[in-house]
Structure 1
Amino acid sequence: MATTWSIKGDYMEACSCDLLCPCITSNMTAPATHDFCKAAMAFNIQSGDFGATSMSGVRFALFIESKAIMADGDIIAGVIVDSSATHEQIEAIGSIVSAAGGGPLAMLDPLIGNFKGIERQPIEFHKDGKTVSVKIEGILDQEVVGIDSAVEEGQCIAIDNTAHPVNKRLNLATATKNFMNAFGIKWNDDSQQTNGHFAPFDWSGEAN
């Protein structure tokens, strides 16, 4: 019997590509800045349920490493869920990030060649206006700052109608901190030139 679920909250992302990541404007068919793309997407669920399980307050991060052209597949991936999550919440996240969850992230499943599993660690997630950050001690330390719009006061420049699984509309941002070290995916760049995004997310699906 399928489990109906829905979650909403805030997301941020930084990757190893220079701003703007070629994946976004090419539907994952243009080469990355390097011979790879290493990225972490962090999520702070503000409300939602997975069947009878409340998902409010759950935080998690999805790490990926792809070849230069992401659409070629064989992606390495892994997930870290905040240590405060219950067993039921962790199982729900495992479903939501997979094809079985029937949600937006299911589009990535055919491209993943090596899923490294799910781990638990304390996760800090903060959003203050156009600045969003995530930290997992010794594992992930990222901060992105949105690029101000010149025509909409208080808003960031955004790109719309993308094929991104989190939200088709993404705020453009610069990664002011960009450190990753999880599942064999390692990156450390303080140049403040690498790509970042943030956006709200509002997902739903039926998990098998």
Structure 2
Amino acid sequence: MAWQISGQYMETCNCTFLCPCIVTNLQGTPTEGNCKAALGMQIEKGSKDGVSLDGIAFITILESKGPMGKGDMTVGLIVDSSADDAQVQAITAIASGAAGGPMAALAPLVGKFAGVERAKVTVTREGEKWTARAGDLIDETCEGVLNMEGRPLALDHASHPVNARLALAKAVRSMFNVFGIQWRDDSGTRNGHYAPFSWSG
């Protein structure tokens, strides 16, 4: 059966702003040599195989040992603890690319699927500042980079699975500690993005 989800996304990564991965079509070497990123996704409306996914939040976390385009990435998934087993199964199929859709294009680059954790996941917005949290596993905030009119700068036509148009942001805070992926930074110099998303398959 066809599926669809739509909502809001934000992410931070360990690269110094602006992340070279996005502007080199995944061929650039991350600024720290490796890439660690967490993508917070708040589904506002969605369903798969008759299972409602309305209101469920999840975070996809990944680590690449070098340029993302070379593959061998480790990817894990954290789904909100309010989700039941059928919802977790549906989101896992979508987020891993197994159900097709935008994430399927990245699936060949994944060398290890680290599994699924459940935690209280929230994705919230305050103006142009976005925060995603997952228990004590993920705590990240990014804030939009604004032009002189106070509007967020954006990158268009990006080859990114979430949206071809991404707001540019700097990570205010990033803490990852899950699936053996660890990162902590509050320097305000690291990369972030946010955008609405609409996926289907």
**TM-score bin, normalised by smaller chain:** over 0.9
Q: How far, CA to CA, are the matches of 1:28 and 1:82 in structure 2? A: 29
TM-score (ref. length: structure 2):
0.97
Of the three residues 117, 122, 146, the one matched with 1:148 is 146
Q: How far, CA to CA, are the matches of 1:99 and 1:166 in structure 2? A: 12
The answer to whether the Cα contact below 8 Å between 1:175 and 1:195 also exists between their aligned partners in 2 is yes
Of the three residues 26, 37, 52, the one matched with 2:50 is 52
Of the three residues 75, 83, 86, the one matched with 2:84 is 86
The alignment of Structure 1 onto Structure 2 pairs a total of residues equal to 201
Q: Aligned partner of 1:24: which letter?
A: I
Q: How far, CA to CA, are the matches of 1:137 and 1:17 in structure 2? A: 24
Partner of 2:187: 191
Partner of 1:109: 107
Partner of 1:22: 20
Partner of 1:132: 130
TM-score (ref. length: structure 1):
0.94
Residues 37-76 of structure 1 deviation map (CA, whole Å, 9 limit, x = unaligned): 0000010000111121111000000010002211010001
Partner of 1:13: 11
Q: How far, CA to CA, are the matches of 2:147 and 2:54 in structure 1? A: 32
Q: How far, CA to CA, are the matches of 2:134 and 2:5 in structure 1? A: 22
Q: How far, CA to CA, are the matches of 1:14 and 1:99 in structure 2? A: 21
Partner of 1:180: 176
Identity, % of aligned pairs? Answer: 44
Where do 5+ consecutive residues of structure 1 fail to align? none
> C-alpha displacement at 1:154, in angstroms?
4.5
Q: How far, CA to CA, are the matches of 1:20 and 1:88 in structure 2? A: 38
Structure 1 runs (4+) greater than 2 angstroms displaced: none
Provide the aligned C-alpha RMSD in A.
0.9
Q: Aligned partner of 1:188: which letter?
A: R
In the alignment, structure 1 residue 171 sits paired with structure 2 residue 167:
yes
Where do 5+ consecutive residues of structure 2 fail to align? none
The answer to whether the Cα contact below 8 Å between 1:34 and 1:68 also exists between their aligned partners in 2 is no
Q: Aligned partner of 1:20: which letter?
A: L
> C-alpha displacement at 1:190, in angstroms?
1.0
Q: Name the SS for the 1:177 alignment partner.
A: strand
Q: Name the SS for the 2:2 alignment partner.
A: strand
> C-alpha displacement at 1:125, in angstroms?
1.5
> C-alpha displacement at 1:129, in angstroms?
2.2
Q: How far, CA to CA, are the matches of 1:30 and 1:204 in structure 2? A: 29
Of the three residues 107, 113, 116, the one matched with 1:118 is 116
